[in-house]
């Protein structure tokens, strides 16, 4: 494949300009002036919560200030209350992505390898790899869930950490908490267990739940949560880790920056907006069921979804499906090898889900031979 200079410049401009620019460009490609329906990033379109919005509006003038220690402490205390623990167990990050990277750094400093599922969320594995950490990927099982026995077998003397994304992105599947507990209990003592529960608030499968209580045990267990999903604050960049106090201190020392004052204040407000959180969960789960019902009626295979997205087999090359969706103004998730015909679709608002379902027949039709 050859790439000419103009394509190269366009690609670099898109990379530098970030996803917002790329999305606007995609909307133009669709030949429409309407904004595209963005169902590719697993965002929660209902957020931020009303309480968080009011707080941000009231705090604009404070944008000239750094968040004070008191404000950071009060967010940490609110998170600790929300999680039923104490502040010494909480590390705040500029998105849980920052904490995943800090964990990659920790792994690299300890000089060992990382075991992760394939496919899974790549922020930690890819960052760790750039730091020289050997990453062993273990394919998901036939139901597209973490293959815990195979992951256990992949743990070697040199392994320093295992990454468990539960529910998993991009497959959406989750393994029951009991299976995670058993898996972690059987790890060699030196191996850290990193459990990413970014989507846990949308889970409703039998036995699926958090393992946050494990952070207080003998071995190092770190549980990650984010404000990007159920709180609908992806653009505001706020997340946190739960860990044993000594692990929390080590992790905090590897973070690279401090969240901005608006997200710190909005995060506290969102935690208190229980009505918003419950309503968001109810609506996302209902729309998720609507999507799987339609996929089932069309006899399309899908992985049992536990997050705010559905991973399903289109039966045609994903590039073709995505292009047809894009021409109807809908942006779907990227390719996740080795699932060449599978698509990850984010559960958007009810009208967005209706638009996706209406666009489906034309996007699925077999190509003319």
Among 27, 45, 95, 125, binds ligand PLP (CB under 6 A): 95
* 226 near ligand PLP, rule: CB under 6 A: yes
Distance from C-alpha of 314 to C-alpha of 140, rounded to nearest angstrom: 19
Which one, 262 or 360, has the nearer CB to ligand PLP?
262
Distance from C-alpha of 303 to C-alpha of 7, rounded to nearest angstrom: 36
Helices 261-272, 69-83: crossing angle, 10 deg rounding: 30
Name the closest residue to ligand PLP (Cβ): 95
Which of the residues 175 through 204 are near ligand PLP (CB under 6 A)? 196, 198
Among 228, 270, 280, 322, binds ligand PLP (CB under 6 A): 228
Among 96, 173, 287, 308, binds ligand PLP (CB under 6 A): 96
Which one, 234 or 359, has the nearer CB to ligand PLP?
234
* 125 near ligand PLP, rule: CB under 6 A: no
Binding string, 42-71, against ligand PLP, x = CB under 6 A? Answer: x-----------------------------
3-state secondary structure of 173: coil
* 210 near ligand PLP, rule: CB under 6 A: no
Cis peptide before 48, with omega less than 30 degrees from 0?
yes
Which one, 121 or 312, has the nearer CB to ligand PLP?
121
Quick one: DSSP state of residue 61? G
Stretch near ligand PLP under the rule CB under 6 A, chosen from 84-92, 95-103, 255-263, 348-356: 95-103
3-state secondary structure of 136: strand
Alpha helices of 60-143 — where are they, by DSSP H? 69-83, 96-110, 123-130
Distance from C-alpha of 165 to C-alpha of 356, rounded to nearest angstrom: 27
Q: How many CA atoms lie within 13 A of 203 on its CB side?
A: 22
Which one, 228 or 322, has the nearer CB to ligand PLP?
228
Dihedral, CA of residue 225, residue 278, residue 88 and residue 128, to nearest 10: 0
Distance from C-alpha of 116 to C-alpha of 171, rounded to nearest angstrom: 14
* 164 near ligand PLP, rule: CB under 6 A: no
Contact positions vs ligand PLP (CB under 6 A): 42, 95-97, 121, 165, 169, 196, 198, 226, 228, 234, 239
């Amino acid at each position: 494949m050859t790439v000419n200079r103009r394509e190269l410049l366009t690609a670099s401009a898109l990379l530098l300009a970030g996803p917002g620019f790329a999305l606007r460009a995609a909307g133009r490609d669709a030949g429409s002036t309407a904004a595209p329906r963005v169902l590719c990033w697993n965002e929660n379109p209902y957020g931020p919560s009303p309480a968080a919005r009011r707080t941000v509006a009231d705090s604009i003038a404070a944008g000239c200030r750094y968040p004070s220690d008191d404000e950071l402490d009060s967010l940490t205390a609110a998170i600790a209350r929300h999680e039923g623990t104490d502040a010494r167990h909480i590390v705040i990050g500029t998105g849980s992505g920052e904490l995943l990277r800090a964990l990659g750094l920790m792994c690299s400093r300890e000089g060992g390898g990382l075991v992760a599922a394939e496919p899974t969320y790549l922020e930690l594995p890819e960052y760790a790899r750039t730091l020289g950490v050997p990453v062993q990927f273990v394919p998901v099982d036939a139901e597209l869930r973490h293959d815990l026995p195979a992951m256990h077998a992949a743990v070697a003397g040199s392994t320093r950490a295992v990454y468990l994304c539960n529910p998993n992105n991009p497959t959406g599947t989750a393994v029951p908490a009991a299976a995670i507990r058993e898996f972690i209990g059987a790890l060699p003592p030196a191996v850290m267990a990193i459990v990413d529960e970014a989507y846990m608030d949308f889970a409703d499968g039998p036995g699926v739940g958090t393992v946050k209580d494990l952070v207080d045990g003998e071995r190092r267990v770190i549980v990650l949560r984010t404000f990007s999903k159920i709180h609908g604050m992806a653009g505001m960049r706020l997340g946190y880790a739960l860990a044993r106090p000594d692990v929390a201190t080590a992790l905090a020392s590897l973070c690279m920056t401090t969240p901005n004052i608006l997200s710190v204040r909005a995060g506290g407000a969102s935690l208190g907006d229980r009505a918003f959180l419950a309503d968001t969960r109810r609506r996302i789960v209902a729309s998720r069921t609507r999507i799987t019902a339609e996929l089932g009626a069309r006899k399309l295979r899908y992985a049992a979804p536990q997050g705010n997205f559905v991973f399903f087999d289109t039966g045609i090359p994903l590039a073709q499906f995505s292009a047809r969706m894009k021409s109807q103004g809908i942006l779907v998730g990227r390719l996740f090898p080795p699932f060449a015909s599978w698509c990850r679709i984010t559960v958007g608002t009810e009208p967005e889900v209706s638009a996706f379902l209406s666009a489906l027949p034309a996007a699925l039709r077999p190509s003319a031979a």
